[in-house]
């Protein structure tokens, strides 16, 4: 089974059908930032590994319910030095998630620590279970004419 086949199988699993977060893009070769999404009662945590990516090279945007994290990992080089070996990933990357119902698109915090970008996405006040009252309508019956 190839990696992409496994990812496709996971996408069709119950986990992705019940999650309010859905990956929009598939795994990109080489410059892929791994991601974890955790659910709490009042928010979600999205953790994305971005080791070696400076803060000024990260962009986090949310538009029309699409949360996008993109950036660039610089390659390591020194003037006058000959590179003998390099297997570090370098270049651009992008992760895109569709935020589901209940996510407050205007209230997202982002922090970068130890090579991990952490996004805290708050729930809207309406996203919890809400009891909807049922009202009885008093209908006025039109008089019948004979």
- Classified as helix, coil or strand, 127 is helix
Residue 46 tokens, joined: 């999205």
- pLDDT band for 88, please (50, 70, 90 cuts): confident
DSSP 90-115: -EEEEEEEEE-TTEEEEEEEEEEETT
CA–CA distance, 98 with 89 (Å, rounded to integer): 26
pLDDT tens column, 121-142: 998 876 555 566 777 677 666 6
Residues 6 or more apart whose Cβ sits within 8 Å of residue 85: none
Of the candidates 119, 123, 120, 127, the residue with the CA atom closest to the CA atom of residue 104: 123
pLDDT tens column, 1-19: 444 444 444 444 434 445 5
CA–CA distance, 96 with 131 (Å, rounded to integer): 33
Domains in the chain, ordered, with CATH? 3-126 (2.60.40.790)
The model scores a pTM over 0.75:
no
Q: Answer yes or no: are the C-beta atoms of 111 and 60 closer than 8 Å.
A: no
Report pLDDT for 10.
Answer: 44
Report pLDDT for 1.
Answer: 44
pLDDT tens column, 25-66: 554 443 568 899 998 988 999 999 998 888 999 999 999 889
Phi, psi of 88 (to 5 degrees): -75, 140
């Amino acid at each position: 089974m190839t990696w992409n086949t496994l990812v496709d199988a996971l996408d069709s699993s119950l986990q992705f059908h019940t999650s309010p977060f859905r990956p929009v893009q598939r795994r990109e070769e080489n410059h892929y930032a791994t991601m974890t999404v955790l659910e709490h009662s009042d928010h979600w945590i999205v953790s994305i590994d971005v080791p070696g990516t400076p803060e000024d090279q990260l962009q986090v945007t949310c538009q029309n319910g699409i949360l996008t994290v993109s950036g660039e990992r610089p390659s390591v080089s020194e003037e006058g030095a000959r590179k003998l070996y390099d297997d570090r990933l370098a270049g651009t990357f992008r992760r895109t998630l569709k935020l589901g119902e209940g996510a407050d698109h205007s209230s997202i915090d982002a922090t970068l620590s130890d090579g991990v970008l952490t996004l805290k996405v708050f729930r809207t006040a309406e996203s919890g279970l809400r009891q909807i009252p049922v009202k009885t309508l008093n209908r006025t019956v039109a008089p019948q004419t004979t």
